[in-house]
Amino acid sequence: MKNNKWYVISTFVLGCIVINFAGRILSDRLQLPLWLDSFGTVTAAYVLGPFCAAMVGMTVNLTYGILYSWTNMFYAVVSAMVGITTGICVKKGFLKNLYGVLSTSFLIAVLSVTLSVPLNYLYCDGSTQNIWGDGVIESMEKVGFNSFFSHCMGQFYLDFLDKVITIVLVFSLIKLLQKKIVSKRQHTLLMMFLCILALGVIRGETVTAKTVTEQEDYSSYLQTVYGRENGIPGGCANDIVQTKDGVLWIGTYGGLYRYNGTKFQWINEYESIKTVNCLYTDEEGRLWVGTNDSGLSIFINDTVANVITEKQGLASDSVRCITQCADGNYYVGTAGALSIVTLAGGLNVKKTMEDIVYVKSMDADANGTVAAVTDDGKLYFIRQGKIMDIVEPSEGADFSCCKFDENGLLYAGTSQNEILCYGCDTGEWKYRETKGCEELSNIKSLYFLDDGAMFVCADNGVGYFVEQTDFKMINTDTFNSSIDHMLMDYQGNLWFTSSRLGVLRLCKSVFTSLQTGAIQENQVVNSVTKWQNRFYIGTDSGLEVMDEETGEEYTDDVTETLAGTRIRCIRTDSCGNLWICTTGKGIYEITAKGETFVYDNASGANGNKYRTVEELKNGTILAAGDAGLTFIRDGEITKVTGESDGLTVPKILCVLEQEDGTIFAGTDGNGIAVIKNGKVEDVYNKEDGLSSEVILRMVKNEDGGVFIVTSNGICYMDTEGKIRSLDKFPYYNNYDIVEGIDHTLFISGSAGIYVVDKEELLSGKELEYKLLNSDAGLNRALTPNAWNYVDENMNFYFSTDTGVICMDLKNYEVSVRSYRMQMKSVKIDDVSHFVRRGEVIYLERGAEKLEIFPEIINYSVNIPYVSVYLEGYDSEPQVVSQSEMSSVIYTNLPVGTYKFHIAVLDHKGQNPVVESVYTIEKKAEIYDHWWFVVYIVAVFTLAVAYLTWMIFHTQVQRVINLQKKEIELVKKQLEMGNETVLTIAKTVDAKDVRTSQHSERVAEYSVLIAKELGFDEKSCEDLKKAALLHDIGKIGIPDRILNKPEKLTDEEYGIMKSHVTKGAEILKSFTIVDHVEEGALYHHERYDGKGYVHGLKGEAIPINARIIGIADTFDAMTANRVYRKQLDMAYVIQELKNGRGTQFDPGLVDVMLGLIDNGKIDICSLYKEHTHTDHSREKEEE
């Protein structure tokens, strides 16, 4: 572009910047695993070179930082590096082919990580500011990788993908243009399209930013009222504010209350705050308390720091409202005139505006304007202590309150149901628009949330504007009178005060009500399911149907027919038909086409009272009721099972089909009836392991087992039919079991819903569980024996005493923004001290007792686990639930510096979610310092060294002599051990007159074989000794059998065979040689498993025993015996071959034959005569 004019280059650069900016916004909005903010930078590097590319990249970071987050400015150095590196690589010709492109992209990714990771640590606590990158970091750290390495990898995952995609795409586009596949006009149109697309992304971001934000349904929030019975004795509340530590302060006519989510603390030690009208927190975190008759007090660190009354110049001691102006002054509305108060030079009244009387609502914008509404309904605009404008009320609609939004617009509520909006144009405040709140009257206050939603508090309720257009009421039930003020706490919960009813909290819960007008108030629900886009709800008084989308009630002939009838169960089958079980009117089937069929006593069913239906594998519908079972197939009743078929107790509460078609019927008092072909064949009862014979529910497990809910516990039947009670489950009055994801079980009962791990429950070990009850937002009682519904999205709809409640089985934890914690105070030897965050807590050397009061400020329904730990003293953290947390006491702490950790843990009480650390230091005397300890140790060491030197010379020679004696003794013991082995072997050989020197030869042959197999020297030596002792058991064989020349009888042969076990028994404690007993015990085993005494087969026989076995047999055949001479070698070799794979290890036969062939085993040199004789005795011995 060297020949292009300046405006062409400027337009191109601007387009590159816009593309970068649009890509970054798109990435943020879609939460992509890459940045998309380098397309323009790389393009500029290609066309204009490294300098311009660096400027393009840096401009985007600076612009994004100004508009969104200032920390992004520091990453401009990364963008500059991308531009410079790419530009240099282009000039060097590295980007002419795909290999160079990929190499360059990898280089830039590595450089980006190198620059970004330090910046992440400096400005973002190590976070990549991308959920994908942070996810990589967290997952790697959980596995156990180093933290720094994990952070590098998290950044690399983002930068590598981003840079490769960016550079490859730009390279491809450049190549496309260079090949002139598109014309110049098309080139221009393409660039225009990219710019328009980028602008569209940016525009789309600004237009749709609010629309993509999911609007909260505040009516579904859990509502809790705090009044006379649970925290606020007076039962009324005038105002509520939150200080920076997250603590809520509630002003009442009965005084000031401090609330941390656990306890309401009445602040009654100060005379100046006995009756509170209004509250205000300023930018510095101070709490301003306006009272009804004691003026104005300022609270700092839970202590009254300043008080100002009429005596100090305040217009009146009755304070109605307070606000802080942008100029730093405080405007105080009183029952008299408006006072302007300053803290400069101490708390004092700077000015009184006598013309403005009885201000009841006030607010200030960021530009120094204060708006005030007086009791006579007028609206004042004030600037620098002067009235700028006065707006008179319209007829019948006085102004009642006012509030500025973040854009500087003022919204003023009226005594009717309207809100007027005013904007400042050229220094004048002008009317803009009117918003109607038709269902409200006498608006008391306005409040803006962070997302821009405007809440309206009024005399008869609360509502809010959705995107500043549509007004929506919040159903606050009976909390609907004199709602004066509200706020959102740091966790996102909403709080409302009423001067008549107290305080209302709205907070998120995992439970939501099925919003419908179909179910009458206080109506017990027994069953719920969804069919054809409608919810079918069975109650004690009929069938209610509501449209899934609109929530509107639906009626038809069936609902009218079943009006007043108790519906026990509603379920669907695989054909899309709906089945309804009633009490008194039998079973109703509504087909997918809308046809209705009734199965009752008159049509052949087993009675008219039914509790549940179950579809069997063959399509049959099995209905269970008070008179037994009814089988329905293709619209016909095919079979019934009752008392005459063996049902002792015909009332069936639940049924379950097994894989083989067997039916388990859970009875109301007679256990589980096992039914085949309509007849009862067996019954499981208490004797079989059931904890009760009232069976409420049976749920099949994936392994084929069955969870059984009885009237007093939970049992489990395995695939073999064995039943055991799951005693570690903490509750007994349970109703149902539903399995969620990851083997999580949800067990409902009268206490709520227990969440447990299935494997832990079945293991029988101590069970970790979470209970979802009223504390978690379950403010209704679950219906016993109800039949509930889980949809395809794992939403669990369950029946309660007052309607239907829904929860997401995939997410049963309320998402809490954060937790705040602090060390509220400490007591040192029973004297209280306030603790300021960041300050060191000092203890005197003589302090004996330290009591710490940790505080978790939590307003959510979650009751988290809390860990407290004094680093440097405690060996491990103490973990308790927040509800059980109390003070922590330490006595007689040693001098030193300690770190006190307070942490909120995850729902399993294992990993910290958020943590605060406080430093505690106990002062030291001179003898407590390290250098004094060094002095003591040094002197002591010198003394010990001197004494040691003296003693050393008198002891060293004695030790040396003793060691020599010990070494000699060991050598003698080894020699004696070897001699012992040889002597024992000779003794055995001497006992058997037929086996002279047999053990020595077997040992020699065994060692030769072992060497061929590669045994090391020690293994060969151990084998040799084991071979020498292999026949030691013959010591226990009578001589008459051992030396009998004739063939042994069966009885004698049995005794002879026992020498192997006798030998093993003798050698089992012989520890000089490793595995010595194996040679004695297994040397008569055969490779084919037909040996004795254990019948081991193949390589199950130890290798040493296999070697000794073949060597033993070989010697038996080649040695001279008293009853015959040695056998022919040809015969011996043939016998070895015949025994290959049957009597002997084939590999060892090959080794033995090899040793004979190469002459390492030379029988001729050992024996001079070769005689063939009878071989029967050899076979006996083998």
Residues pairing with 581 in the sheet: 569, 587
Q: What is the dihedral of CA 940, 941, 943, 949, to 10 degrees?
A: 160
Residue of 160, 58, 34 lying closest to 105 (CA atoms): 160
8 Å CB contact between 279 and 287? yes
Residue 216 DSSP code: P
1024 and 909 share one domain: no
| CA–CA distance, 404 with 324 (Å, rounded to integer) | 13
Q: At what angle do helices 998-1012 and 1017-1028 cross, to 10 degrees?
A: 150
pLDDT tens figures, 623-650: 999 999 999 999 999 999 999 999 999 9
Amino acid at 24: R
Who's near 53: CB < 8 A, 6+ residues apart? Answer: 41, 42, 44, 45, 82, 83, 84, 86, 87
| CA–CA distance, 530 with 547 (Å, rounded to integer) | 10
Q: Please compute the mean of the pLDDT values over residues 682-693 and round it to a whole number.
A: 96
Q: Please compute the mean of the pLDDT values over residues 450-455 and round it to a whole number.
A: 88
8 Å CB contact between 313 and 340? no
145-154, 460-469, 808-817: segment of lowest average pLDDT: 808-817
Confidence of residue 975 (pLDDT cuts 50, 70, 90): low
895 and 1023 share one domain: no
Answer whether residue 287 shows pLDDT above 60.
yes
Residue of 309, 304, 318, 308 lying closest to 269 (CA atoms): 304
Q: Is 625 exposed, middle or buried (0-12, 13-18, 19+ CB in 10 A)?
A: buried
* 3-class DSSP state of 434: strand
8 Å CB contact between 400 and 361? yes
At residue 416, the pLDDT reads: 87
| CA–CA distance, 460 with 843 (Å, rounded to integer) | 55
108-117, 138-147, 242-251: segment of lowest average pLDDT: 138-147
At residue 949, the pLDDT reads: 55
Q: At what angle do helices 930-991 and 998-1012 cross, to 10 degrees?
A: 130
Tokens coding 258 = 């401090």
Confidence of residue 690 (pLDDT cuts 50, 70, 90): very high
Confidence of residue 1169 (pLDDT cuts 50, 70, 90): very low
pLDDT tens figures, 877-916: 999 888 888 899 999 998 889 999 999 988 777 888 888 9
Q: What is the dihedral of CA 1054, 1060, 1061, 1067, to 10 degrees?
A: 160
At residue 1123, the pLDDT reads: 59
Tokens coding 403 = 């509030």
At residue 1178, the pLDDT reads: 43
Q: Which residue has the higher pLDDT, 303 or 295?
A: 295
Give the Cα-Cα-Cα angle 972, 974, 975 (nearest 5 degrees).
Answer: 65
| CA–CA distance, 560 with 596 (Å, rounded to integer) | 13
8 Å CB contact between 408 and 423? yes
Output phi, psi for 414, to 5 deg.
Answer: -120, 175
Q: Please compute the mean of the pLDDT values over residues 661-679 and round it to a whole number.
A: 96
At residue 581, the pLDDT reads: 97
2-11, 153-162, 908-917: segment of lowest average pLDDT: 2-11
At residue 1177, the pLDDT reads: 44
At residue 215, the pLDDT reads: 59
Residue of 494, 475, 496, 474 lying closest to 485 (CA atoms): 496
1039 and 1143 share one domain: yes
> Which residues form the domain of 542?
522-641
**392 to each of 358, 398, 429, how far by Cα in Å?**
15, 8, 13
pLDDT tens figures, 766-783: 898 888 988 778 888 999
Q: Tokens 């009838």 belong to which residue?
A: 565
Q: How many CA atoms lie within 13 A of 251 on its CB side?
A: 29
pLDDT > 70 fraction of the chain, expressed in percent and rounded = 88
At residue 513, the pLDDT reads: 80
Q: Please compute the mean of the pLDDT values over residues 224-241 and round it to a whole number.
A: 89
Residue of 77, 69, 67 lying closest to 129 (CA atoms): 69
DSSP states along 620-689? PEEEEETTEEEEEETTEEEEEE-GGGT-SS--EEEEEE-TTSPEEEEEBSS-EEEEETTEEEEEE-GGGT
Within-domain flag for 358: no
- Residue 813 belongs to what H/E stretch? none
Domain total for the chain?
4
At residue 644, the pLDDT reads: 93
Within-domain flag for 963: no
1099 and 1177 share one domain: yes
Q: Where are the beta strands (DSSP E) in 701-792?
A: 706-710, 713-717, 723-725, 734-739, 744-749, 752-757, 769-772, 789-790
Helix, strand and coil in the chain, % to nearest 5: 30, 30, 35
833 and 891 share one domain: yes
Tokens coding 649 = 């107790």
Residue of 321, 379, 325 lying closest to 350 (CA atoms): 325
Answer whether residue 838 shows pLDDT above 90.
no
887 and 826 share one domain: yes
Tokens coding 423 = 């904007």
Answer whether residue 871 shows pLDDT above 90.
yes
At residue 573, the pLDDT reads: 95
At residue 515, the pLDDT reads: 61
Within-domain flag for 402: no
Within-domain flag for 487: no
Within-domain flag for 174: yes
CA pseudo-torsion sign 1070, 1073, 1074, 1078: negative
Tokens coding 52 = 């311009």
Residue of 1129, 1006, 1158 lying closest to 1078 (CA atoms): 1006
Given 158, 177, 208, which residue is the final one in a domain?
Answer: 208
| CA–CA distance, 201 with 969 (Å, rounded to integer) | 91
Output phi, psi for 136, to 5 deg.
Answer: -60, -45
Who's near 1029: CB < 8 A, 6+ residues apart? Answer: 981, 984, 985, 988, 999, 1063, 1067, 1070, 1073, 1076, 1079, 1080
Answer whether residue 425 shows pLDDT above 70.
yes
Task: Say how far residue 558 (Cα) sits from the centre of its chain.
Answer: 46
Confidence of residue 364 (pLDDT cuts 50, 70, 90): very high
156 and 47 share one domain: yes
What does the chain come to in residues?
Answer: 1182
pLDDT averaged over the chain? 85
Q: Please compute the mean of the pLDDT values over residues 422-428 and round it to a whole number.
A: 87
1011 and 899 share one domain: no
- Residue 198 belongs to what H/E stretch? helix 184-208
Peptide bond into 1093 cis (omega under 30): yes
99-103, 332-336, 846-850: segment of lowest average pLDDT: 99-103
At residue 732, the pLDDT reads: 93
Answer whether residue 1159 shows pLDDT above 70.
yes
Within-domain flag for 624: yes
Pairing of strands 319-324, 841-843: unpaired
Q: Which of 4-18, 148-162, 499-513, 605-619 has the highest mean pLDDT?
A: 605-619
| CA–CA distance, 577 with 597 (Å, rounded to integer) | 11
At residue 499, the pLDDT reads: 92
Given 175, 208, 241, which residue is the final one in a domain?
Answer: 208
At residue 562, the pLDDT reads: 95
Count helices and strands in the chain by DSSP H and E runs: 22, 65
Answer whether residue 201 shows pLDDT above 50.
no
DSSP states along 996-1033? TTHHHHHHHHHHHHHHHTT--HHHHHHHHHHHHTTTGG
At residue 146, the pLDDT reads: 87
At residue 950, the pLDDT reads: 56
Tokens coding 316 = 């009146």
Residues pairing with 486 in the sheet: 496
Within-domain flag for 712: no
| CATH number (domain holding residue 1069) | 1.10.3210.10
Q: Which residue has the higher pLDDT, 814 or 529?
A: 529
Who's near 1069: CB < 8 A, 6+ residues apart? Answer: none
1062 and 1123 share one domain: yes
At residue 427, the pLDDT reads: 80
1059 and 1158 share one domain: yes
Q: Please compute the mean of the pLDDT values over residues 40-60 and round it to a whole number.
A: 85
| CATH number (domain holding residue 575) | 2.130.10.10
Tokens coding 874 = 């405690």
At residue 834, the pLDDT reads: 85
8 Å CB contact between 210 and 452? yes
| CATH number (domain holding residue 858) | 2.60.40.10
At residue 152, the pLDDT reads: 87
Q: Which residue has the higher pLDDT, 33 or 435?
A: 435
pLDDT tens figures, 922-951: 887 655 556 555 655 665 575 566 557 556
Within-domain flag for 134: yes
At residue 849, the pLDDT reads: 94
pTM, rounded to two decimals: 0.57
At residue 971, the pLDDT reads: 62
Pairing of strands 636-641, 418-425: unpaired
At residue 198, the pLDDT reads: 47
Answer whether residue 1172 shows pLDDT above 60.
no
At residue 338, the pLDDT reads: 97
| CA–CA distance, 474 with 483 (Å, rounded to integer) | 12
Who's near 964: CB < 8 A, 6+ residues apart? Answer: none
| CA–CA distance, 190 with 233 (Å, rounded to integer) | 72
Tokens coding 829 = 């030897």
- Residue 1092 belongs to what H/E stretch? none
Tokens coding 219 = 């009516």
| CA–CA distance, 947 with 943 (Å, rounded to integer) | 6
13 and 101 share one domain: yes
980 and 919 share one domain: no
At residue 170, the pLDDT reads: 84
Given 188, 208, 228, which residue is the final one in a domain?
Answer: 208
Pairing of strands 912-922, 841-843: parallel
| CATH number (domain holding residue 108) | 1.10.1760
At residue 852, the pLDDT reads: 93
The region that residue 1081 occupies, defined by phi over 0 for left and psi between -120 and 50 for alpha, beta otherwise, is alpha
Task: Say how far residue 192 (Cα) sits from the centre of its chain.
Answer: 48
